[in-house]
Amino acid sequence: MASTTTTTTNNNNETPDAPLAPEQLLFSSTDSETLSKNILMVGAGGIGCELIKTLALTGFRNISIIDLDTIDISNLNRQFLFRKKHVGMSKSQVAKESVEKFAGSKQTGINIEAYTGNIKEERFGLDFFKKFDIVLNGLDNLEARRHVNRLCLSANVPLVESGTTGYKGQVTVHLRGKYCSCFECAPKPVPKSFPICTLRDTPSTFVHTIVFATDLLFPRLFGANKEDPSDLDEEEARDAFTRKENEAGTAFAKRVFAYVFEKKIKDLLEREDMWANRDKKPEALDSETLLKTKEERTATTGYGDAHKKWTMEEASEIFVRSAGKLFEKGDRISEFDKDDDDAVAFVTATAQLRCANYGIEYMSRFDAKGVAGNIVHAVATTNAIISGLIVIEALKILNAQKHLDEKEEGEGKNDRLIKLANSRYTFVGNFNAGRQLLQPLAPDEQNPKCVVCANARAELCCDISKTTLADVISKVLKKKLNTNEPTVLKGDDMLHEEGEDLDDDEVENYAIIGKRTLQDLGLESGGILCVDDNSQELKFDLVVVHQNLEEFDEDAFPEGFELRGETPKVAEGAEKEKDEDGAATDGEASDEIEIVEEGVEITKAVESPRLGKTKAIASSPSPASKKRKTK
């Protein structure tokens, strides 16, 4: 880096909270000491490739990089360290080798440690995190990002967080402290859930029709558990969805077609109360005509131009033909897979036909695939920009650390650090917002209600006579609060434990306890469950408040419970801090900008507790958990 001859002593040092001078943050201070710091990069994807390149060019010499993923052809438009010949290989390994090609190897320049694995694995626990001076996240899923946040808090290592989608992106800096927030202090967009009845009977958007196809119809016909009860199984539906002995796949598909797009709609229309308060009624398709026209075109193969919308006749024919193909695959299918062309064609056709039923604008196969597979929009440029911003924030933190008093400890030290470093949250891609391509904001302060970093309690509002402990563990603790291996206590009673070191009879015992409702476990409204997750060094109290299931608004809380506690902080004094140059950091804008995540799933159906089904219709696996399953 630049070596300047400036020897100016910085008077700012006398006031503890004033940022350091530029040369102490970036220029002359970026010396050999800074550049030999230990850096942990989580993620070797879109952001990761750009980031490791920018770190190496800056002169950083000790970098560890973790990714569980292998290289896919659709990565090559932006993950420039990978070539076609690398498809199928470990991202972190290839990234290391590609960087060494220009930056030299361990002997001559740079020391890169590449790990192929999931960041949630035990070997990447607290002791691992403590080895690093800073952690830089380039992750594509919320679950892993929240996990890393918790470990960084425990290990007291600064975290630079980032995310991109399309042209938008952001970089933020997190530490535990009163004047700095953790990644989870601000509420995160959760996957949208739709009530089953909306999906099944009253869809109003294209997304509804896609989720109907991927989460209801597809699993009912082709899924690994197609024999299990489904939310689609109303009285006569069971017949319609059961393949007769020796029935050809396409013949069965035609029966399903006639039921789903015609018979079922006609039945619904008879329920007049249902349509009394709705603008428009659905329209049944004429399955006989639609299915007849395609007889002459049985020779058709393929599904045509992915960007062209199908006609109704085409969609009908493709519904039957793709279903036939999928039946042939039989047990090789377990769930909807966006990389299976037949599955995508089936889902697209189903969605289009449903759209015709309900007068909804439909989309091409390409767009339907994007919605169904929750595919991230991504370009190289945004990742490159974000990588630059991450490195700048990292340099500022690492250089500012040198000016901290070694003996000082705790949160006050972190507060000082983030001020000295003049850390910023930067948002990219809101061009129309004030003609700023890059918008720097002062970092958020700690949210006193944050369960993760502020020792706040979480509050669960649910029907304690119907909610079981297992529900709380899977739907609340794991899905909403992102715990990994939670232990649950009520007073001194251990209600739940998990992990590999449990005996079989312990596992069995906890399974039995899990089936009991909270009421049966002796919990009253206002009672407290203590939750402790060793793998994340996270501990908090969960206050349970009773509310009858019937009193929950189904649209707002389709899962039949409400989790409070992680509420966003009230905008205390809309006036944001002034930054170094005295320029206002656009306090009002901070609320307008939504934090974007690469790869947060858009849609999923949820089990409706009112239907009393024992099986969850759709879990909502994030991309990462999906990958873990297949690993």
Partner 1 sequence: MKNNNNNNNNNDDKEEDEEHPSMKLTDAQAEMYDRQLRVWGVSTQLKIAKARVLILGAESPTLLECAKNIVLAGVSKVILCRGKAKEEEEETLSFLVSVEDRAKKISVAEAAAKSLQEMNPFGEVSAADFKFEDLEEDKDAASAILGENYDVVICCGRRVHANTVKHLNEVCRERKIAFFLTESSSNHGYFFSDLGDAFEFIERKKHDSDNNEDGKESALLTKPFESFGSAIQKTSFANFKPKRSCKFTPIFCALKQLELMNLKPTLEEVREHISKLPDGDKVVDGVSLEDLALFLDNRIEMPAIAAIVGGLLANEVIKSISHAEEPVCNFFCFDVLSGKGAVEKLG
**Residue 359 binds which entry of partner 1, Zn ion, none, CB below 5-8 Å type-dependent:** none
Which DSSP string do the residues of 494-526 spell out, in sequence order?
EEE--STT--HHHHHHHHHHHTSBTTTTT--TT
Which 553-592 residues touch partner 1, going by CB under 8 A? Answer: 579-581, 583-584
**Residue with Cβ nearer partner 1 (9 or 432):** 432
Residues 535-554 contacting partner 1, CB under 8 A: none
> Which run of H or E residues covers position 311?
none
In the complex with partner 1, the residue whose CB is nearer, 305 or 328, is 305
**Among 471, 475, 459, 455, which residue's Cα sits nearest to residue 525?**
459
Q: Does 191 bind partner 1 (CB under 8 A)?
A: no
User: Out of 274, 306, 528, 530, which residue is the one contacting partner 1 (CB under 8 A)?
Assistant: 306
- State the amino acid at position 427 in one-letter form: F
**Interface positions, 163-182, toward Zn ion (CB under 5 A):** 182
Nearest Cα residue to 199 out of 188, 190, 210, 191: 210
In angstroms, what is the minimal distance from the CB of 6 to partner 1?
A: 9
Q: What is the DSSP string of 107-151?
A: TTT-EEEEEES-TTSGGGSHHHHTT-SEEEE--S-HHHHHHHHHH
Q: Which of residues 599-618 bind partner 1 (CB under 8 A)?
A: 602
Q: Among Zn ion, partner 1, none, what does residue 182 contact (CB within 5–8 Å per kind)?
A: Zn ion
Strand order in the sheet with 562-564: 493-496, 487-490, 527-533, 538-546, 458-462, 562-564
Q: Which of 10, 156, 205, 487 binds partner 1 (CB under 8 A)?
A: 205
Backbone φ, ψ for residue 454 (5° rounding):
-110, 15
405 belongs to an annotated ligand binding site: no
Indicate which of partner 1, Zn ion, none lies near residue 453 (CB less than 5 to 8 Å, by partner kind).
Zn ion
Stretch that binds partner 1, among 70-78, 88-96, 325-333, 556-564 (CB under 8 A): 70-78
In the residue annotation, 49 being an active-site residue is answered as no
Q: How many residues touch partner 1 (CB under 8 A)? A: 74
Residue 450 labelled as part of a binding site: yes
Q: Are 110 and 61 in contact (CB under 8 A)?
A: yes
Q: What are phi and psi of 579, to 5 degrees?
A: -95, -175
- Residue 149 labeled ligand binder: no
Judge whether 67 is annotated as a binding position.
Answer: yes
Q: Which of 103, 119, 323, 461 binds partner 1 (CB under 8 A)?
A: 103
Give the span between the Cα atoms of 456 and 539, in whole angstroms: 10
Q: Please list every residue from 389 through 428 that binds partner 1, using CB under 8 A.
A: 389, 391-392, 395, 424, 426
Is 144 labelled as part of a ligand binding site?
yes
Least spacing, CB of residue 601 vs partner 1, in Å: 13
Report 448-507 residues binding Zn ion (CB under 5 A).
Answer: 450, 452-453
Site for partner 1 in 264-293 (CB under 8 A): none
Rounded least distance, CB 428 to partner 1, Å: 8
Distance of CA 101 to the CA centre of its chain: 33
The secondary structure of 266-299 as a DSSP string is HHHHH-HHHHTT-S-------HHHHHHHGGGGTT
Residues 317, 559: Cα–Cα separation, whole Å: 36
Residue 30 contacts residue 1 (beta carbons within 8 Å): yes
Q: Name the binder of 185 from Zn ion, partner 1, none, CB < 5-8 A by kind.
A: Zn ion
Tell me the window of 310-318, 442-450, 456-464, 597-605 that interacts with Zn ion (CB under 5 A).
442-450
The reply to whether 97 sits in an annotated binding site is no
Distance CA 110, CA 87 (A): 25
Q: In this structure, are residues 427 and 439 in contact, taking their beta carbons and an 8 Å threshold?
A: yes
Please report how close the Cβ of residue 449 comes to Zn ion at its closest, in angstroms: 9
Using the minimum distance from each CB to partner 1, give the nearer residue, 613 or 627.
627
- Which residue is catalytic, options 197, 355, 462, 530? 197
**Contact string 211-250 vs partner 1 (x = CB under 8 A):** ----------------------------------------
User: Shortest Cβ distance from residue 214 to partner 1 (Å)?
Assistant: 16
The reply to whether 355 sits in an annotated binding site is no
Strand order in the sheet with 159-165: 111-116, 62-67, 38-42, 134-137, 159-165, 168-174, 425-428
Q: Which residue has the tokens 């949160």?
A: 411
For residues 352-391, which are near partner 1 according to CB under 8 A? 361, 363, 366-367, 370-371, 375-385, 387-389, 391
Contact status: 418 vs Zn ion (CB under 5 A): no
In this structure, how many other beta carbons lie within 10 angstroms of the beta carbon of residue 228? 14
Site for partner 1 in 143-172 (CB under 8 A): 166-167
Quote the tokens at residue 292: 């007849």
In this structure, are residues 221 and 256 in contact, taking their beta carbons and an 8 Å threshold?
yes
> Would the annotation count 249 as a binding residue?
no
Q: Which of 18, 35, 36, 80 binds partner 1 (CB under 8 A)?
A: 80
**Which residues within the stretch 175-234 sit at the binding site for Zn ion (CB under 5 A)?**
182, 184-185
440 binding partner 1? (CB under 8 A): yes
Cα separation, 21 vs 25, in Å, equals 6
76 binds partner 1 (CB under 8 A): yes
Q: What are the E-state strand segments in 166-312?
A: 168-174, 192-194
Q: Which amino acid is at 311?
A: T
Q: What is d(CA 42, CA 68) in angstroms, rounded to the nearest whole number?
A: 10
Rounded to the nearest whole angstrom, what is the least distance from the CB of residue 317 to partner 1 in the complex? 22
Site for Zn ion in 98-137 (CB under 5 A): none
Piece of the chain touching partner 1 by CB under 8 A; list 101-109, 239-247, 290-298, 564-572? 101-109
Interface pick for partner 1 out of 123, 280, 407, 435 (rule CB under 8 A): 435
Name residue 180's beta-bridge partners: 177
- Positions annotated as catalytic residues are 197
Binding-site residues for ATP, please? 43-48, 67, 75-78, 91, 140-145
In the complex, the residues that contact Zn ion under the rule CB under 5 A are 182, 184-185, 450, 452-453
